[in-house]
Amino acid sequence: MLEESREELMRFMLLFSRQGKLRLQKWYLATSDKERKKMVRELMQVVLARKPKMCSFLEWRDLKVVYKRYASLYFCCAIEGQDNELITLELIHRYVELLDKYFGSVCELDIIFNFEKAYFILDEFLMGGDVQDTSKKSVLKAIEQADLLQEEDESPRSVLEEMGLA
Amino acid sequence: CFLFHRGEGFNGLFLLAVASITLNFVKEAEIKRINKELANIRSKFKGDKALDGYSKKKYVCKLLFIFLLGHDIDFGHMEAVNLLSSNRYTEKQIGYLFISVLVNSNSELIRLINNAIKNDLASRNPTFMGLALHCIASVGSREMAEAFAGEIPKVLVAGDTMDSVKQSAALCLLRLYRTSPDLVPMGDWTSRVVHLLNDQHLGVVTAATSLITTLAQKNPEEFKTSVSLAVSRLSRIVTSASTDLQDYTYYFVPAPWLSVKLLRLLQCYPPPEDPAVRGRLTECLETILNKAQEPPKSKKVQHSNAKNAVLFEAISLIIHHDSEPNLLVRACNQLGQFLQHRETNLRYLALESMCTLASSEFSHEAVKTHIETVINALKTERDVSVRQRAVDLLYAMCDRSNAPQIVAEMLSYLETADYSIREEIVLKVAILAEKYAVDYTWYVDTILNLIRIAGDYVSEEVWYRVIQIVINRDDVQGYAAKTVFEALQAPACHENLVKVGGYILGEFGNLIAGDPRSSPLIQFNLLHSKFHLCSVPTRALLLSTYIKFVNLFPEVKPTIQDVLRSDSQLRNADVELQQRAVEYLRLSTVASTDILATVLEEMPPFPERESSILAKLKKKKGPSTVTDLEDTKRERSVDVNGGPEPAPASTSAMSTPSPSADLLGLGAAPPAPAGPPPSSSGGGGLLVDVFSDSASVVAPLAPGSEDNFARFVCKNNGVLFENQLLQIGLKSEFRQNLGRMFIFYGNKTSTQFLNFTPTLICSDELQPNILGFITKPVDPTVEGGAQVQQVVNIECVSDFTEAPVLNIQFRYGGTFQNVSVQLPITLNKFFQPTEMASQDFFQRWKQLSNPQQEVQNIFKAKHPMDTEVTKAKIIGFGSALLEEVDPNPANFVGAGIIHTKTTQIGCLLRLEPNLQAQMYRLTLRTSKEAVSQRLCELLSAQF
């Protein structure tokens, strides 16, 4: 892959808890499993060690990490050095808003038990590491449509409830 | 946020997930439970009863969940792929999710996945199309690009495509273009994409802007019209009222994401030439700067973040254009305000952004006015990442006028600096001290201070450099000798100081020997008092200093000989030390004064080179960040080495001693007491010649090169090699005994490759049989992000076994790179398929019944035994695939002729799969044993 000096490309997004449990990961650049694990472990350590009120940006390896903590969850994006940090910070916030709107006051458990929804919402919002649509309405409309399709498919049980009852 | 009531109806697996966040559940219990669950799912997948789509989805989803809990998943991929072709949305969706999370781009399933994607793209169902596009963007492999790069532009610009699909298509194409730019064909669609900037739907504009920005970087001419469109779009946004854009307004800021992207697109181009467009853009930028001064419309941090995101991007554009002094100074003032803002994030970004501003001649002085604030930040910021930015900015704003102050501040900060950034500060101080030294005594003092304050962080490059400079400047040598002598008086001094001191006194101790307080014997005793506390490399260096003393000061010769003669030296357990002691003692005894004086002569000046410290900093920080500063400051920089002219290259190769390796310059001297060959274990770092360019040695084959090579046996195009710097792509075609290979070298970094030299190497054994010519050398400079192409013409003279090697050497940010890969030129490339009927085949088969003509291999399947894949591979191998020839329809037979210049060789092959045993038997019959052998080897490795 050819890197550009002024290209806006998110490398990955991670959600992890204060206890260091990974809750969601999305990689936008092919990375081997081994490397992913190593990066996740290393980065979680760095971020969890930071104190509140510290700056939301840090240089890590050859990347810039933008993170923000919401309740017990850290949302963490790795971007390239030239990218706009503040807009990335707000991108995280917009994603949290989307989750919040969809789940209704989202919490860590929602993301654990409805991880597939968390992914679908992220995918409607970002694609290949780039913003696809910043309108809250558009993204949620797409997700609602998908939910309708799901209900047409089958009785309205969440996938995980089905799994739980299996 | 405390919705714990959701726990009803979960089975153990999910309770575990809860437990792990609430109770820190015992890890082993979790693993046990997971393994049981995995075994259960595995048995369901392997069971005799075919699973319905619903169950398949359920289990695939469970696997995903387990994966997300942090466990490895090595099965279920096939089931997920099956889900893709389901007509039920939820099944398809889970299938795609599994693949985008768990499938890496090199998976063998790509072909199957591609098929499913193809169907969904053609379905005209926007939801299915969206899923398919997402999957392509997630996996983004070259194979996917090969399959879809031609199709997606059509989807993107088709009149009847829904907006949401357009958005996905734009970003999907962007991803493929990043992966495989050569596979995305430019064409009519590009002009229509540019016009998407005018689209009514802001979501479409946002996605399209990202795509256009990336395309415009590579094809600026083709996308030039995007500039005026982007300016007018931006202008409409910044002048709109905060409610005009409805849902695209974010906390009272109109379309911040789109604004940032448009500003970024404009950074691909110089300032617009058309005065009207240029005027409009300047107005936009002024509006953005003005808005920063207005009272906020909301107290929420989201409001100010979004507003400032646009502001910082506007400032980036202003800096990029570097043409409007007025805007540059306004930008600098704005950043100056942020330097004292209560938000840490803004202080951080202001420091960062000012770094680039410091390199513009219009704003350099304006940035310098903030020096006190920045120094204060260095002292008071509580967050190390912010302090780091302050160090960077001080480094960037440094020039001759403020160098003494900045260097002093950095040195004093170093006393308390975080360990994580000490080395970098040391490098920066060393560079600034050297670059802006008017007075080299100041330079020597600074470096000795560095060693005193942060000796552990002073790398070899730094202390080598001070030695180089002292040797090259005779006006500072006496001062340096006096200063190190004084510094060595300290009861506890850093080992690096002993190294520098030992080296400098060995060369210039005579300059201070006239003073009775630093007589030769005192100098020697001082150094020798440190000897036993030092590591082996330093002791080795001191021994060399001692023999230099023998030459400089005949009066201490007996004392030194006594030391060398002592058991602790002559019988030292370390080979290097022992050898030096033995040889130096011998040298001091047998050599006449003249010979000693010649051998132990003062070091000749070092040739002028780029500072190796700078190279090290570049390596540490990533080249782009440092080079920018260097380029712009070049005119201001001083000739560091002063006096001596650069030595001509030919002599420098002979007489350039690195201060470490060959301290005495003995390499060329007659009674050379040659030390052991340089090795990192023996003499430590001391024997490694850090200054020399790596010699022209061909690197061993890159790791993974074998696998890549094998992948090209049945195909002609793809990526042959890739590391963090370089990507090598291939396209080749073969006809009879001739071939042509297009090699694409992509510079993945943003920095130039210098002296870029690819060489084609055919071993002696290979030489007579295969001829390869590089038609034209490539330009030795490969720009950052650029791709260059080279053509190799190939002729097969006779059958062959080995493959030619492609060796590539280049310099990247001061480091020498050397990569070798096997070029996939294999015998089967010269196949021409031959169709024949069953009876012909068996007749020829029998004719080739001589035992030497047949080669057979029985081997285990390494990949799933899929009939279609096998057929495709045999065809890709180059032979004809003969249907209905073998009585057993499960077998595959093929026939073809290998063309070489000297002869043509008929080949027959038969592949018999055994599904139960997961084995194959491959039989090759040709008229030439070596050919049968080689073809059998090549083809066996494919299944």
For B:805-864, CB contacts with A below 8 A are none
Instruction: Transcribe B538-594 into DSSP letters.
Output: HHHHHHHHHHHHHHH-GGGHHHHHHHHHSHHHHT-SSHHHHHHHHHHHHHHHHS-HH
Chain A residues touching residue B3 (CB < 8 angstroms): 105, 107, 109-110
A140/B contact by beta carbon, under 8 A: no
Q: What is the mean pLDDT of chain B?
A: 82
pLDDT at residue B243 is higher than 80: no
A21, A55, A150 ranked by CB distance to B345: nearest: A55
User: What pLDDT sits at residue B546?
Assistant: 92
Rounded Cα gap, residues B403 and B398, in angstroms: 6
- Cβ-Cβ pairs closer than 8 A, A with B, add up to 253
User: What pLDDT sits at residue B484?
Assistant: 92
Beta carbons of B309 and A62 less than 8 Å apart:
no
Number of domains in chain A: 1
Instruction: Transcribe B710-776 into DSSP letters.
Output: HHTSS-SEEEEEE-SSEEEEEEEEEETTEEEEEEEEEE-SSS-EEEEEEEEE--TTTTTTEEEEESS
Among A26-40, B399-413, B700-714, the minimum mean pLDDT is found in B700-714
Angle between helices B495-508 and B460-472 (to 10 degrees): 20
DSSP secondary structure letter of residue B509? G
Residue B279 confidence class, pLDDT cut points 50, 70, 90: very high
User: What pLDDT sits at residue B761?
Assistant: 83
User: What pLDDT sits at residue B290?
Assistant: 94
Residue B418 confidence class, pLDDT cut points 50, 70, 90: confident
Residue of B64, B86, B138 for testing the chain A interface, max A β-carbons within 10 Å: B138
Cβ atoms of B465 and B612 closer than 8 Å: yes
pLDDT at residue B689 is higher than 60: no
Beta carbons of B260 and A87 less than 8 Å apart:
yes
* Cα–Cα separations (whole angstroms), residue B341 to B291, B364, B377: 17, 22, 11
Distance, CA of B132 to chain centre: 30
Is A28 a member of any domain?
yes
pLDDT at residue B592 is higher than 50: yes
Chain A residues touching residue B217 (CB < 8 angstroms): 4, 6-7
**ipTM of this predicted complex?**
0.90
Beta carbons of B94 and A107 less than 8 Å apart:
no
- Write out the CATH class of domain B705-825: mainly beta
Among B254-263, B473-482, B619-628, B862-871, the minimum mean pLDDT is found in B619-628
B2, B4, B247 ranked by CB distance to A135: nearest: B247
B1, B68, B104 ranked by CB distance to A71: nearest: B1
User: What pLDDT sits at residue B656?
Assistant: 35
- Considering only CA atoms, which of B832, B915, B918, B845 is closest in space to residue B887? B845
pLDDT at residue B637 is higher than 60: no
Query: How confident is the model over B322-336, as a mean pLDDT?
Result: 90
Q: What percent of chain B has pLDDT over 90?
A: 29
CATH of segment(s) B828-941: 3.30.310.10
pLDDT at residue B918 is higher than 90: no
CATH number at residue A34: 3.30.450.60
Both tokens of residue B106?
A: 């090199």
User: What pLDDT sits at residue B676?
Assistant: 35
Query: How confident is the model over B382-390, as a mean pLDDT?
Result: 89
User: What pLDDT sits at residue B13?
Assistant: 46
Residue A141 distance to chain B (closest CA, Å): 11
Chain A residues touching residue B268 (CB < 8 angstroms): 6
Q: Is B862 annotated as a binding residue?
A: no
At B420-440, the pLDDT tens digits run 788 888 989 988 998 888 788
Cβ atoms of B493 and B526 closer than 8 Å: no
Delimit the CATH 3.30.310.10 region(s) of chain B: 828-941
User: What pLDDT sits at residue B634?
Assistant: 37
User: What pLDDT sits at residue B927?
Assistant: 86
Query: How confident is the model over A142-166, as a mean pLDDT?
Result: 61
Beta carbons of B9 and A22 less than 8 Å apart:
no
pLDDT at residue A162 is higher than 50: no
Residue B884 backbone class (left: φ over 0; alpha: ψ -120 to 50; beta: rest)? left
Is A3 a member of any domain?
no
Query: How confident is the model over B657-668, as a mean pLDDT?
Result: 38
Domain extent at residue A41: 8-161
* Highest mean pLDDT out of A27-36, B173-182, B701-710: B173-182
pLDDT at residue A159 is higher than 60: no
Would you tell me how many other CB atoms lie within 10 Å of the CB of residue B292? 18
Delimit the CATH 1.25.10 region(s) of chain B: 336-397, 398-600
B419/A contact by beta carbon, under 8 A: no
Residue A91 distance to chain B (closest CA, Å): 9
Residue of A1, A44, A70, A100 for testing the chain B interface, max B β-carbons within 10 Å: A1
In degrees, rounded to 5, the angle at the alpha carbon of residue B643 between the alpha carbons of residues B641 and B649 is 70
Rounded Cα gap, residues A41 and A60, in angstroms: 13
- Considering only CA atoms, which of B803, B467, B459 is closest in space to residue B613? B459
pLDDT at residue B776 is higher than 80: no
pLDDT at residue B677 is higher than 50: no
pLDDT at residue B711 is higher than 90: no
User: What pLDDT sits at residue B609?
Assistant: 59
pLDDT at residue B642 is higher than 80: no
Residue of B3, B123, B127, B745 for testing the chain A interface, max A β-carbons within 10 Å: B3
Residue B616 confidence class, pLDDT cut points 50, 70, 90: confident
User: What pLDDT sits at residue B26?
Assistant: 59
Among A38-52, B168-182, B476-490, B698-712, the minimum mean pLDDT is found in B698-712
User: What pLDDT sits at residue B463?
Assistant: 84
For A:18-57, CB contacts with B below 8 A are 19, 21-26, 30, 32-33, 53-57
Query: How confident is the model over B593-622, as a mean pLDDT?
Result: 72
Query: How confident is the model over A9-20, as a mean pLDDT?
Result: 90
* H or E stretch covering B221: none
Q: Which CATH architecture has domain B398-600?
A: Alpha Horseshoe (1.25)
At A94-137, the pLDDT tens digits run 999 999 999 988 888 888 888 888 998 998 899 888 888 888 88
CATH 1.25.10 assigned to B336-397: yes
- Name the residue type at position B471: I
pLDDT at residue B641 is higher than 60: no
